[in-house]
Amino acid sequence: MTDTLTPGIATGRLSEERVAANFADLHRPLDLHEAAVAADRCYFCHDAPCIAACPTEIDIPLFIRQIATGQPEAAAETILAQNIFGGMCARVCPTEDLCEGACVREAAEGKPVEIGRLQRHATDALMARQGHPFTRAPATGKRVAVVGAGPAGLACAHRLATKGHEVVVYDAKDKPGGLNEFGIAAYKSTDDFAAREVEWLLEIGGITLERGRSLGHGLSLDALRQKFDAVFLGLGLGGVNALSADGAGKDGVMDAVGFIAALRQADDLTALPVGRNVVVIGGGMTAIDVAVQSKLLGAENVTIAYRRDRDRMGASKYEQDLAASKGVRIVCNAMPVAIHGNGAAAEIELEYTADNGTGLTGTGERMRLPADQVFRAIGQTLTLEAGLHLERGKIVVEKAGRTSMDGVWAGGDCTNRGDDLTVTAVAQGRDAAEDIHAALSRSDA
């Protein structure tokens, strides 16, 4: 069926069977023998560079040794003690740029230990075979508000709950998980894993979820500060940057983040409309995710247009190569100047760019591409009016997540220390929780 306003966008481009195959698990989990072989490749370095490369500082040699000796659940506890979202991070972390990129085997042989897959092997084993591995400390009588049920907020809430504090988590959506639930490519998180991981995390107890509430919509920061002993903001980035090109308001021009969220929540992917000729504007992970998924849904031609050189793209080389392997074309040094069509997008006009030393400029050379669907993947913005110190549209925080406002901490993408990675958000939420706990403990002294 074709939308009458956007004649190139249609549902059911591929069969249900083909779509299911396209969106199968990107990396098959290791079986017991494969995990043992992969673990055996680790040198168990004393000054392991992989630990330093991990934002959550997991003791990687230790957990791999535990796997090698047949203790995957113990390995999982080593992982989860540092990163409560170890299962999701095993699936979505750019390990090629982090732990595996720092692996001694990578430097020596060009093939690192498969740390990400081993981490998934361990965390999946624990989640499948036993209950929640952590328990709460005795109740402290302190109450903390967490705004945002994404990786930063939930990591903070979990760590605070283990310390014995009562935590109320507020989120604008009707389903917790944030980026993990709504923003990750579907082939990276299959079988409703994000929701199952959150449900498992909440087994710690002491955490109450309040859905459909956010700052400015049923909540105020001043009221939260009065009601709770501390507040943590893990808001993510709710706004989407506008596309500055003529015709940007035409039908068929849409937000990549919203499309990915709709895809992640769809019961039937064949019912999700996709264009025949798709162009994605941007160069980050979101651009890659929406481009690849458009191709997997049956788009015939998918192009990513990025305004800078390829080595400046926010997406990792692995993700760029993944997109190319799925048939996505990447055009660099090209920026959109106009979208043409009679009410609906039909073509996009791009101008080649050059860096003259002071910034990007158009060269005057242009090209046109067929485009019935154009996705904006050019960054997100923070929508917040709360009296906090902001820098370039993000909350300014100290290392432990303290903001300019007494009693308020923040972490994740909404801060000037965020970098659009689940693992970084988890680390910041965890560290803020430790600082909040220390502050609350001092107040009792």
| Three-class SS state of 2 | strand
**Within this chain, do residues 153 and 114 fall inside the same structural domain, yes or no?**
no
Is residue 413 domain-shared with residue 318, that is, in the same domain?
no
Say whether both 293 and 345 belong to one domain.
yes
Residue 137 included in any domain: no
For helices 317-325 and 285-297, give the axis angle rounded to 10 degrees.
10
Return d(Cα 321, Cα 373) in angstroms, integer. 23
Determine the structural domain holding residue 416 and report its residue range: 143-238+382-444
Pairing of strands 334-340, 347-355: antiparallel
Lowest mean pLDDT among 107-121, 353-367, 400-414: 353-367
Q: How many domains does the chain have?
A: 3
In 3D, which of 241, 323, 325, 309 has the Cα closest to residue 278? 323
- pLDDT tens for 11-57 read 999 999 999 999 999 999 999 999 999 999 999 998 999 999 999 99
- Residue 135 belongs to a domain: no
E strand intervals along 192-328: 207-211, 214-215, 218-219, 230-233, 239-240, 253-255, 274-275, 277-281, 301-305
Whether the Cβ atoms of residue 156 and residue 261 lie closer than 8 Å to each other:
no
More confident residue, 380 or 342: 342
Query: Does residue 134 lie in a domain region?
Result: no
Neighbour-count burial of 40, counting CB atoms closer than 10 A to its CB (0-12 exposed, 13-18 middle, 19+ buried): exposed
| CATH number, domain containing residue 74 | 1.10.1060.10
The verdict on 368 and 244 lying in the same domain is yes
E strand or H helix that includes residue 167: strand 166-171
> For residue 405, is it within any domain?
yes
Q: For residue range 274-326, what is the model confidence (pLDDT) as tens digits? A: 999 999 999 999 999 999 999 999 999 999 999 999 999 999 999 999 999 99
With respect to residue 2, please indicate whether it lies within any of the assigned structural domains.
no
Q: Are residues 162 and 75 in the same domain?
A: no
In a domain, 1, yes or no: no
Domain edge (last residue) among 354, 376, 398: 376
Based on the domain organization, do 245 and 372 belong to the same domain?
A: yes
**Claim to verify: residue 231 and residue 260 sit in the same structural domain:** no
Whole-angstrom distance, CA of residue 184 vs CA of residue 187: 8
Strand partners, 231: 145, 408
Domain edge (last residue) among 67, 97, 129: 129
410 bridge partner residues = 233
Rounded CA separation 433/157 (Å):
7
Q: Is the pLDDT of residue 263 over 70?
A: yes
What would the pLDDT profile of 187-236 be if each residue is shown by its tens digit? 999 999 999 999 999 999 999 999 999 888 889 999 999 999 999 999 98
Q: What is the pLDDT of residues 146-193, one digit of tens each?
A: 999 999 999 999 999 999 999 999 999 999 999 999 999 999 999 999
Are 251 and 341 contained in the same domain? yes
**pLDDT over threshold 70, residue 112:** yes
Tell me how far apart the alpha carbons of residues 250 and 343 are, in angstroms, rounded to a whole number: 6
3-class DSSP assignment, residue 233: strand
Q: Do 315 and 399 reside in the same domain of the chain?
A: no
Same domain for 222 and 102: no
For residue 168, list its beta bridge partners: 145, 208
Q: Which parts of 93-246 fold into alpha helices (H)?
A: 99-102, 104-109, 115-129, 151-162, 179-182, 193-201, 221-227
Residue 273 lies in a domain: yes
Shared domain check, 212 and 147: yes
Decide if pLDDT at 2 tops 50: no
Say if CB 414 and CB 386 are below 8 A apart: no
Residue 174 is predicted with a pLDDT of 92
Are both 158 and 112 inside the same structural domain? no
Domain endpoint, select from 101, 129, 157: 129
Owner of token pair 């000729």: 277
CATH of residue 284's domain is 3.50.50.60
Establish if 138 belongs to a structural domain.
no
